[in-house]
Amino acid sequence: MSSTADNAALFETWLEEHRGIVVKVTRSFAPEAADAADLQQELLLQLWMSVPAYAGQAKPSTWIYRVCLNTALTWRRGTARRERHLQPGADYTRVAADAGSPADSAGDRELLDQLYAAIRALPGSDRVLVLLSLDGLAYREIAEITGLTENQVGVALTRARKRLAELMKGVSHELE
């Protein structure tokens, strides 16, 4: 059994190396700043609580994705009523830890905000697949995280990408 100090060290290492996963999941599931802060806190809490159960059979990033995505899906079900009342064009504020975003110009940030808004409009399972795909994970890794087969990932991801493309219609894809 690992000690609390070992768990704390592992948790700190995970945060240092994989904070981007927490940020991406937060942005994909929480449209408002207050919700983003709540979700991020819940993700970190669940990640901390999962440390003792980590047996090293999966890569840390796979484990972190699994914990964060399952937590976000559960959180989303609990907040679905609130989101039905959101106004289109609401202020989608970034999570503070997102300072290292690849979107540097105002146009890039606007496009990224629109992309995250479109991702949030997808059903939960599609949102998960698109998020993992955008993070560059292979079908094999996505299958390991989601529990689907690689073939199921391919089919479902193709459908999810089509839905996302429909949601993104009319958004300028020209970046300067």
Per-residue pLDDT tens digits for 122-138: 888 898 899 888 888 88
Summarised one tens digit per residue, pLDDT across range 66-116 is: 999 889 888 877 765 445 544 444 444 433 334 444 445 666 778 788 888
Q: Which fold has domain 101-176?
A: Arc Repressor Mutant, subunit A (1.10.10)
Domain locations in the chain? 1-94, 101-176
Query: Mean pLDDT across the stretch 42-47?
Result: 91
- How far apart are alpha carbons 60 and 9 in whole angstroms? 13
pTM over 0.75, yes/no:
no
Between 59-68, 100-109, 162-171, the lowest mean confidence (pLDDT) is in 100-109
CA distance 130 to 4: 35
Question: What pLDDT score was predicted for residue 106?
Answer: 66
pLDDT at position 79 is 62
- What mean pLDDT, rounded, does the chain reach? 79
Half-sphere exposure of 37 (CA within 13 A, CB side): 4
DSSP type of residue 96:
G
3-state secondary structure of 52: helix
The CATH number of domain 1-94 is 1.10.287.1080: no
Q: What is the mean pLDDT of residues 21-39?
A: 87
Region for residue 64 given its phi and psi (left: phi exceeds 0; alpha: psi -120 to 50; beta: otherwise)? alpha
Work out the burial of residue 155: count CB atoms within 10 Å of its CB; fewer than 13 is exposed, 13-18 middle, 19 or more buried. exposed
What pLDDT is attached to residue 99?
41
